Structure 1
Amino acid sequence: MGLPQQKPHVEEQKKPDGFFKKYKRFIYLAICFLIGAAIWFYPAPAGFSEDAWHLFAIFFATVVGFILQPIPTGAVTFIAIVISVITGILNIGQAISGFAASVIWLIVAAFIFSAGLLKTGLGERIAYLLMGRFGKTSLSLGYSLSLGDLVLSLFIPSNTARSGGIMYPIVRSISEVSGSTPDHKPRKIGAYLIQTVVQTENITSGLTLTGMAGNLMIIAFISQIANIEMTWIGWLAAAIVPCVICLVMIPWLVYKLYPPEMKETPQAKIIADEALAKLGPMKREEKVLGIILLLTIIGWATTTITGIDATTVGLTAVCAMLITSVINWKDVTSQTSAWDTMIWMGGMYGIADNLARLEFFDAFAVTVSSTLDGISWIIGMIILFPLYAFSAYAFASGTTHILTMYPIFLGLAIGIGAPPYLAGLVFAFASAVNQTMTHYASGPAAVFFAGGYVEQRTWWKIGFQLLVFYIVVFGVVGSAWWKVIGLW
């Protein structure tokens, strides 16, 4: 018998891309420009200036660009900045004003601090210690990290500082030692831990009066507008029931909504012990960085006493790391995530800030107030609470959102008869729970998103789902608790 004849090898023809796939970038860019143009050429509603309306068109088109992502986020923001200048709405100084914002430089400092923890191995050592103690399951790790953030929130009145300078580097280290990086198996455990901690950050920011820097501004507004002096204990008493419920639920909810691939880790303690033994005693760089970290935490915890803001403390820590050779200048310049975040976050911050300067949000408040005439304060608060929370879509900073919208909504609520003490707290809690609904809504969101573990569409989806959960908890359970303690 002869050998069976082999079929001649035919190279598999690559199927040509369809029209949409081939031109997807240009189609998505066209959609962004068309939506922006539609708003631009629509007559500005009563109360809105033409410049404010046109800048809103650019802002909204930019948000659409963030969603569709025809080009990188930084490039979308860069184009928006240039258009706002070319069209004459802003001058170049106004357009790039966001890059001078304190919170933007705190984010950069946090990324550099993270690089130091990773380079020296201190972050890895902390990660293995946590992994050995709490690492039997991904869920237990999530709860332990949430507890850690809760404890830190009692001492550090800046959610960006504690998330970027402490929590993110630890989460990143735990993920990497578990074999989960942004480019390799992010869903193994890294993405779950990122979302768990950043969502916990929302609640710890609202639990106490010192949970985030924005709360101190809120206290001033409550005093000025409602003539009420809010105490630390009074705030905690109102927050504790809904916040504790959220803190208990978050790791489990994220586990269900966005489950990690790695569920059980029975060998975690053995692996951690072996890794710690391999690391050996702490190196000089680790000890030096440990001292810098401790002093930084003290600096962040005492900002209200010393008058030194969190950004200055963070940048001083970076200087100390450079002087002591914990990191070098190349380590600073190689932090591409930090500089990329600075571009898109700074750009969005500047546009949103200029929208406020052009009184866009004042006109928005007048429009809302006209629809609330003649309704009871309870119905009014049911409308205003979620409206205030979701208005964060239009802001690139939790602080800016509070500065712009909090006094407006507090005034609206008091105007329709809501108890001033209750109204002040309701919008305070809303200011915290909306901090991570988008990747640009706050400093913590920007830091954790830039790590690259969670894609943008997923981030927005989870942010929306959990914001709805927070609104239900605070709206239903919170309202009942506030009735019990006599706030209404």
Structure 2
Amino acid sequence: MAHSESSTGKNLFLRGLICIVIGLIIWFSPIPAGVNVTAWHLLAIFAATIAGFILQPLPIGATAVIACTALVLFHVLKPGEALAGFSNTTIWLIVSAFMFAEGFIKTGLGKRIAYKLLSRFGSSTLRVAYVMSAADFIIAPFTPSNTARGGGIIFPIVRSICSAIGSEPGQEQNKRTGAFLIFSAYCAVITSACIFLTGASNNALAASLSQTLFHVTISWTDWFLACIVPGIILSIFTPWLLYKLINPELKATPKTRQLAIDNLKEMGPMSTAEKILCVIFIAALLLWATSCIHGINSAFIALLGLSAMLVTRILTWDDVLNQKGAWDVLMWMGVLVNMAAYLAKLGLMKALAVHISSNMCNISWLMMLIILSIIYVYLHYALASNSAHIMALFGAFSTILIAAGATALGVLIIFGVLANSCSFLTHYGCGVTPIFFGAGYMPQGQWWKIGFIVSTLHIIVWLAIGLPWMNLIGFFK
């Protein structure tokens, strides 16, 4: 045990050392023409921070605290400038949405929605897959954590269904049926994350970087309108494709409906808290959808919903304080987005765009988008976090396309979405993936094989259908 702990400590130390070396190499490298010293030193700390987020010698929140401190200690930014990122409204939108997720879990409303759908439509294996997809779609706008939504609501239900139909990991009986239900539910979680800005915290990171780096505001409605058509197509086609690929032994699952009915009986009548949360949930959706009319910022609509939950005692202040995921996101995203903002303010992004434009080959931006999208997705084999993917690649890839003449809004949404689509590639693709993979219904080789197919399907749909759709509604004009 002591040897194992010592080995782990050395490994983490080595990872931390690599991050520091990356920062030092950039810090002391010759500064390119057109870039000032402050911007270059900020880039050094920024790059070291991203390396820290990817290699994780420390939790990413701790890495962000160290980076923020370094900015001031090394006289790169003033104290007020280093802390300015915590006023970013998109970050507060995600923090508030985390609280909605807690409300769905605490009241049981998320499970009730899923069981209600299953009790009506869960008579076959394929229908169960579609029901879980529909349940996740309903819950996703208010659960910006795939881990909270997938691990806290969807996975326990689908795992119970597997047991009810006699499918257990490590056993041959109905093995493919369990594998199909588990992987299909996982795909539903990731696809819903693509559709809603508040469906995943990395979406908010993409939106924040869009504002700070390119001065492009992506509203909740913009993201939803751009993604709903290709997202619905993927939601419909993916379970059918998995059904054909995995070929579950059981086609009919009458026990699923009975399981759902039994669980609904156990839950009892809908509680007052659930009813109130439904009203708040619908009101927030309507306010987000009509933001162009009333002009209320999306973050403050979410904060209004949080206020309503606190006033009605659906959540207590202790519940808010205990939402570690929300405060962790606030910390690391506030620091990272702020550094990106100052890289833009100090002219580094402009210098990069000028350099890329001057070296651009005579390739249309559309062809470049297709090529870069494919590279962007499959580079995720080297990453274990969607947020790390955004941090490492989003700004650079977007800069190349925008410099080539592509409309910024469409490009930024596409790259934001594809940072979710790449999650399928590995069994460590994002935070929630190990939960579904760890159920033990599918070996690693099969997971990677089917994940590659599903990720490729996403690329095809987002480019072949998503791009024309976004062009039709004016996002590429």
**TM-score, normalised relative to structure 1:** 0.67
Contact 2:45 2:67 in 1 (8 A): yes
Q: Which one of the candidate residues 19, 28, 31 is aligned to 1:44?
A: 31
Distance in 2 of aligned mates of 1:314 and 1:479: 29
Helix, strand or coil: the match of 2:269? Answer: coil
Asked if the contact 1:199–1:250 (Cα under 8 Å) also holds between the matched residues in 2, the reply is: no
Deviates more, 1:165-174 or 1:270-279: 165-174
Alignment of 1:416-435 (within 5 A): 427=411, 430-435=414-419
**Structure 2 counterpart SS, 1:267:** helix
Residue by residue, what CA displacement relative to the aligned partner does 1:318-376 show, whole Å, maximum 9, x if unpaired? Answer: 11111112221111111111111211122211111221112221111111111125556
Alignment partner, residue 330 of structure 2 = 342
**Code of the aligned partner of 2:19:** C
More helix by share: 2
396 and 103 in structure 1: CA distance in 2 versus 1, 3 angstrom threshold: farther
Cα contact 1:66–1:76 (8 A) shared by 2: yes
2:190 to 198, 201, 205: 198
Instruction: Write the mapping of 1:391-406 to structure 2, written as runs, cut at 5 A.
Output: none
In structure 2, the residue corresponding to 1:413 is in which secondary structure? coil
Equivalent residue number for residue 95 of structure 2 = 108
- Any conservation in 1 of the 2:373–2:415 contact (CA below 8 Å)? no
| Alignment partner of 2:298 out of 310, 313, 320 | 310
Structure 1: tracts of 5 or more residues without a match: 1-13, 153-158, 206-210, 225-231, 415-422, 440-447
Which residue does the alignment assign to 1:420? Answer: none
The normalised TM-score by structure 2 is 0.68
- Is the 1:139–1:251 Cα contact (8 Å) retained in structure 2? yes
Q: Conserved in 2, the CA contact under 8 Å of 1:349 and 1:397?
A: no
Structure 2 unmatched ranges of 5 or more: 161-168, 170-177, 198-202, 381-386, 424-429, 438-443
For residues 60-79 of structure 1, the C-alpha deviation after alignment (integer angstroms, 9 at most, x for no partner) is 21121122111111111111
Residues 274, 382 of structure 1: alpha-carbon distance in 2 compared, 3 angstrom cutoff: closer
Q: Residues of 1 paired with 2:436 and 2:21: CA distance?
A: 29
What corresponds to 1:419 in structure 2? Answer: none
* DSSP 3-state at the match of 1:434: helix
Cα distance per residue 1:305-326 (max 9 Å; x no partner):
1111221111111111111122
Quote the Cα distance in structure 2 between the aligned partners of 1:482 and 1:307: 23
Letter of the 1:430 partner, please give it.
I
Q: Distance in 2 between matches of 1:192 and 1:334?
A: 31
In the alignment, which of 420, 441, 458 is matched to residue 436 of structure 1? 420
- Identity between Structure 1 and Structure 2 (%): 34
Residue type of the alignment partner of 1:199: T
Distance in 2 between the 1:28 and 1:334 partners?
30
Contact 1:58/1:84 (CA < 8 Å) preserved in 2?
A: yes
Aligned to 2:73: 86
Equivalent position of 1:5 in the other structure: none
The letter for the 2-side match of 1:112 is M
Number of residue pairs aligned between Structure 1 and Structure 2: 420
* Alignment equivalent of 1:328, drawn from 307, 316, 321: 316
Kindly provide the CA deviation profile for residues 258-291 of structure 1, in whole angstroms up to 9, marking residues without a partner as x. 9x9x999763211110011122211222222222
Paired position in structure 1 for 2:404: 412
The equivalent residue for 1:60 is 47
Once the two structures are TM-superposed, the CA of residue 49 in structure 1 deviates from its matched residue by 2.4
Q: 2:154 is matched by which residue type in structure 1?
A: I
**CA spacing shift, 1:396–1:195, aligned 2, 3 Å:** farther
AA matched with 2:152: R
CA distance in 2, matches of 1:103, 1:75: 21
Matched, 1:173 2:161: no
Q: Which one is further off, 332-341 or 247-256?
A: 247-256
Q: Does 1:352 align with 2:377?
A: no
Pair 1:340–1:377, CA change in 2 (3 A): closer
AA paired with 1:197?
Answer: V
> Aligned to 1:164, what secondary structure does the other structure show?
coil
Task: Tell me the residue number matched to 1:442.
Answer: none
Q: Write the letter of the residue equivalent to 1:70.
A: P
The more displaced of 388-397 and 26-35 is 388-397
* Residue in structure 2 matched with residue 31 of structure 1 by the alignment: 18
The CA distance in 2 between the partners of 1:286 and 1:480, in whole Å, is 40
8 Å CA contact 1:105, 1:311 repeated in 2: yes
Q: Who is 1:99 aligned against?
A: 86
Q: Deviations over 1:195-226 (max 9, x none)?
A: 53333442577xxxxx99999x99xxx9x9xx
Query: How far apart, in 2, do the equivalents of 1:438 and 1:79 lie?
Result: 29
